[in-house]
Amino acid sequence: MRKQSRKPFDRSTIPDDLCPIATEGFLLRTGDWRAERPVVDRDKCVKCATCWMYCPTQCVVEKPKWFEANLDVCKGCGVCAQECPRHAITMIEEAEV
């Protein structure tokens, strides 16, 4: 990602009850919403990148010999498991905390 080259807008110059604007990022941990997690069978994965392409949250990351989901972001929707041509991904229920 290209680094922000300009200074963010100084929002203190306008009233804070005026309208919804944001000048700094706030990352949602969408991984907290997950009921099931995708688990990749590394022996079956052939790195075809189908999961990487289909993931709605674009959270699949490339490893040396396989792909896997970034669990901070993955919502557990299961699209990758459905689409994997090698059936290398299994959805496992998240354990009760």
Binding interface with another protein (CB under 8 A): 4, 6, 8-9, 11, 14-23, 26, 28
- Shortest distance, CB of residue 6 to another protein, whole angstroms? 6
Main-chain dihedrals φ then ψ at residue 90, nearest 5 degrees = -120, 140
Left (φ > 0), alpha (ψ -120 to 50) or beta: where does 79 sit?
A: alpha
CA 61, 64, 67, 71 dihedral sign is negative
Closest approach of another protein to the CB of residue 17, in Å: 3
Residue among 1 and 28 whose Cβ is closer to another protein: 28
What's the min distance (Å) between Cβ of 22 and another protein?
Answer: 4
Q: Judged by CB, which is closer to another protein: 13, or 93? A: 13
End-to-end CA distance of the chain: 35
93 in Cβ contact with 81 (< 8 Å)? no
Which one, 12 or 64, has the nearer CB to another protein? Answer: 12
